[in-house]
């Protein structure tokens, strides 16, 4: 009978400006400032922001960013996972601010809204309107670093919307937000969509959290680079998250997606080939053929070599479903010149462990078989640096299944835990899932649109999909 062993993986540290480190993104940003990309001058940065919206929504957007110049305290007492937002101004501890200029504004006039109302397809007409506005701003002599698209409230009465608490604008079977991301990608300028409830802070998270998440997400897009990185990831290692998405309008059509992460903090998105999936036993769990697995991994390695000018010494693949034999054969053949390979499945599990104390199990606890054939990693739980468990329900483990393991399960799980701290859309101390899995799912939503299927190539930079 196989025995169990228990390991504890310490909370991964993050690296900020001037070599400062912290366990908490917000504390690190406040204390040291972000890691700025593309510049050796790390003292202070200004980022240019454009806006598309109605006169009212543009005015409300400016009012929102006016409030972001000043310190915002969390509701109730300050906690280690609820840090005051320090404000964005010339003296900001964050060492950057956003700059607005009427030159980078494009107003959706009442006459524009009247034309949308009269159009046969109001949602498609609204997209074409935004496309023209994006182009006008992008073609300025000095275009902004990012464009905010502040939806006028009228869009939700004029356009076709889903019947949900927070209506989503639809364009046929496509999602309006995702289609805008594709439009901005074509113009090579990152975009940030602002819904009316965000402007009014109605039905959103509390103001302090909204400020942190909005500002950090915009910073990442503006500088086209990560505001922090992990203090340690293995050098010359290519980390890959693989997932699948349905191509809209095609019932059995699937496509694969690979998200690449490097030790430098860079990340890239690659769309794999389309394929038909009609497996009766596993209709909702697509898998790659040997050839498709080979082609996708070969594509990943080609991209890696285009950046590093060499093959990696190690490839780590994260997947949210088991590796079938054909997939393993294809991946192994493509990586035959890579010395070390770790192919790992990461699954939700129902496993819970109980402690005798008042707090739950430590985040970073790894329960595994002695032969490293499987393990359970707690990516949520009591965090010593916070001196609490910042959750409500009893933590559940992630099941970790190695299908090819050339290092150790502890090393693989250290990296998985590290990747729970690299979501630029979320400034909380950690996420439950590593970004190799969670981010791939979000990117797949954009790639699944019928419009995306018309692109022979999609941009590989993640900031266009956020």
Please provide the distance, in angstroms rounded to a whole number, between the alpha carbons at the two ends of the chain. 47
**How much helix, strand and coil, in percent to the nearest 5, is found in the chain?**
30, 25, 45
Task: Write out the two tokens for 335.
Answer: 């990586």
Lowest mean pLDDT among 9-13, 198-202, 286-290, 396-400: 198-202
Q: Does the pLDDT at position 278 exceed 90?
A: no
What number is the average pLDDT over the span 23-45?
A: 82
Q: Does the pLDDT at position 2 exceed 80?
A: no
Task: Write out the two tokens for 104.
Answer: 């980078």
User: What's the confidence (pLDDT) of residue 237?
Assistant: 95
Lowest mean pLDDT among 48-52, 205-209, 369-373: 369-373
Q: Does the pLDDT at position 345 exceed 60?
A: yes
Question: What are the residue ranges spanned by the domains of the chain?
Answer: 36-222, 233-464
CATH class of 233-464: alpha beta
Mapped onto helix, strand or coil, the DSSP state of residue 289 is coil
Q: Does the pLDDT at position 204 exceed 80?
A: no
CATH architecture of structural domain 36-222: 3-Layer(aba) Sandwich (3.40)
What number is the average pLDDT over the span 408-428?
A: 92
> Within 10 A of 142 (CB to CB), how many other CB atoms are there?
8
Average pLDDT over the chain, rounded to whole?
Answer: 90
41-79 pLDDT per residue, tens:
567 899 999 999 999 999 999 999 999 999 999 888 887
What number is the average pLDDT over the span 354-376?
A: 88
Q: Does the pLDDT at position 38 exceed 80?
A: no
User: What's the confidence (pLDDT) of residue 78?
Assistant: 80
Buried b / exposed e along 67-84 (16+ C-beta atoms within 10 A): ebeeebebeeeeebbbbe
Lowest mean pLDDT among 43-47, 275-279, 319-323, 448-452: 275-279
pTM confidence score: 0.92
Mapped onto helix, strand or coil, the DSSP state of residue 16 is coil
User: What's the confidence (pLDDT) of residue 199?
Assistant: 82
Q: Give the span between the Cα atoms of 87 and 110, in whole angstroms.
A: 34
User: What's the confidence (pLDDT) of residue 1?
Assistant: 47
% the chain with pLDDT above 90: 61
Q: Which residues contact 406 (CB under 8 A, 6 or more apart)?
A: 314, 339, 340, 341, 342
């Amino acid at each position: 009978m196989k025995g169990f062993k228990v390991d504890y993986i310490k909370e991964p540290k993050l690296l900020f400006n001037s070599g400062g480190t912290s366990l908490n993104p917000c504390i690190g940003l406040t204390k040291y400032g972000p890691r700025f990309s593309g510049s050796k001058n790390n003292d202070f940065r200004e980022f240019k922001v454009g806006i598309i919206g109605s006169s009212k929504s543009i005015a409300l957007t400016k009012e929102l960013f006016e409030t972001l110049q000043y310190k915002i305290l969390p509701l109730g007492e300050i906690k280690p996972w609820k840090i005051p937002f320090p404000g964005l101004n010339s003296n900001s501890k964050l060492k950057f601010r956003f700059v607005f200029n009427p030159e980078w504004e494009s107003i959706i006039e009442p006459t524009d809204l009247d034309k949308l109302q009269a159009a046969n397809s109001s949602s498609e007409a609204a997209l074409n309107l935004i496309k023209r506005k994006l182009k006008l701003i992008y073609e300025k002599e000095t275009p902004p670093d990012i464009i905010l698209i502040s939806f006028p409230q009228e869009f939700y009465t004029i356009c076709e919307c889903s019947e949900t608490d927070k209506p989503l604008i639809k364009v046929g079977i496509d999602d309006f937000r995702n289609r805008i991301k594709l439009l901005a990608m074509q113009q090579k300028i990152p975009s940030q969509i602002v819904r009316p409830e965000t402007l009014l802070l109605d039905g959103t998270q509390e103001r302090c959290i909204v400020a942190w998440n909005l500002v950090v997400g915009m910073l990442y897009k503006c500088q086209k680079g990560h505001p922090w990185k992990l203090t340690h990831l293995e050098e010359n290692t290519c980390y890959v998250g693989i997932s699948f998405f349905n191509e809209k309008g095609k019932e059995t059509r699937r496509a694969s997606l690979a998200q690449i992460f490097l030790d430098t903090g860079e990340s890239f998105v690659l769309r794999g080939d389309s394929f038909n999936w009609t497996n009766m036993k596993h209709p909702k769990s697509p898998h790659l053929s040997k050839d498709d697995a080979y082609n996708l991994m070969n594509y990943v390695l080609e991209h890696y070599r285009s950046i590093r000018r060499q093959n990696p010494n190690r490839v780590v693949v994260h997947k949210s479903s088991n590796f079938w034999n054909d997939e393993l054969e294809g991946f192994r053949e493509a990586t035959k010149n890579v010395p070390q390979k770790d192919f790992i499945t990461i699954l939700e599990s129902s496993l819970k462990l109980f402690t005798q104390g008042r707090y739950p199990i430590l985040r970073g606890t790894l329960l595994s078989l002695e032969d490293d054939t499987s393990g359970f990693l707690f990516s949520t739980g009591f965090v010593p640096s916070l001196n609490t468990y910042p959750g409500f329900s009893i933590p559940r483990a992630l099941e970790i299944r190695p299908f090819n393991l050339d290092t150790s399960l502890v090393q693989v799980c250290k990296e998985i835990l590290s990747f729970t701290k690299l979501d630029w859309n979320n400034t909380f101390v950690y996420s439950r899932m590593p970004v190799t899995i969670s981010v791939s799912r979000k990117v797949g939503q954009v790639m699944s649109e019928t419009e995306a299927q018309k692109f022979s190539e999609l941009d590989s930079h993640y900031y266009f999909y956020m």
